[in-house]
Amino acid sequence: MYKIPATTLFIGKKLVFVPECHSTNTLALEMTETSSVPEGTVVIADHQTAGRGQRGNSWETAPASNLTLSIVLRPKALNVKDQFILNVFTSLAIHDLLMDKLDATINIKWPNDIIVNDKKACGILIENQIQGQQVSQSVVGIGLNVNQSLFSTNLATSMALIGGTHFDREVVLNDLFSCFEARYLQWREGRSNSLTDAYLKNLYWKDEPHTFASEGVEFTGTIRGIGAFGKLIVQTANDDRSYDIKEIKYVR
């Protein structure tokens, strides 16, 4: 259904489209176990019956309305302790894409949600395989809400709802590949610092006091940045604290 992109060097050059699957991340992982899959291979489905999200949640989207895909990467010389950079360049790629398509406020909610006008438009699930101290393979799953107009929660949105128009998914996909490859190459060229700067510049709620919850207790704090291993640094009246993904919730 989708064409091979003409504008990229390796992202999407092998494109596996399935009308339906359980989860493109799972299918991509299965493919890498049973066949030789070049870096940049993309698995894309029109409908996932068991789409997976972060923290063990499910990812549900209307069939044939959005983009649900997984990209296989084999990052060279990526130490396990630096793996958060995968979140950084993937989020920035989607941020770049949406900045180009929409006239809206677009932020990255740590670690990798893409927030448009305060609602989530894209979720990312990155699953890594580790060999020794290195990330040997990464499956980057992206669920981008393109044309869906109804959601079961008022915390979600889509490109069409924000832009007030229908988007051609093939065009969006091709542009996503270009944005993704550009940010991935930026990392491969050793420019992690400029990636991290751009990520922090667009970080949702950064430098604004907000209410968070940890271990069921609400507190006021201000996001100040990202620490070792990609932990979120939140300043409170008493101290600076750092949190892993399962340890903190954004409240208001």
Give the interface with ligand BTN as residue ranges (CB under 6 A): 23-25, 48, 51-54, 57, 59, 68-70, 113, 123-125, 141-143
DSSP secondary structure string, the chain?
-PPPPSS-SSTTSSEEEEEEES-HHHHHHHHHHHS---TT-EEEEEEESS-B-GGG-B----TTTSEEEEEEE--TT-BGGGTHHHHHHHHHHHHHHHHHH-SS-EEEETTTEEEETTEEEEEEEEEEEEETTEEEEEEEEEEE--S----SSTTB--HHHHHTS---HHHHHHHHHHHHHHHHHHHHTT-HHHHHHHHHHTBTTBTSEEEEEETTEEEEEEEEEE-GGGPEEEE-SS-EEEE-GGG-EE--
Of residues 47 and 224, the one with the C-beta less far from ligand BTN: 47
CB 241 to ligand BTN: min, Å: 23
Of residues 53 and 163, the one with the C-beta less far from ligand BTN: 53
CB 133 to ligand BTN: min, Å: 26
CB 37 to ligand BTN: min, Å: 16
Of residues 142 and 241, the one with the C-beta less far from ligand BTN: 142
Of residues 20 and 197, the one with the C-beta less far from ligand BTN: 20
CB 8 to ligand BTN: min, Å: 19
Of residues 57 and 79, the one with the C-beta less far from ligand BTN: 57
CB 50 to ligand BTN: min, Å: 7
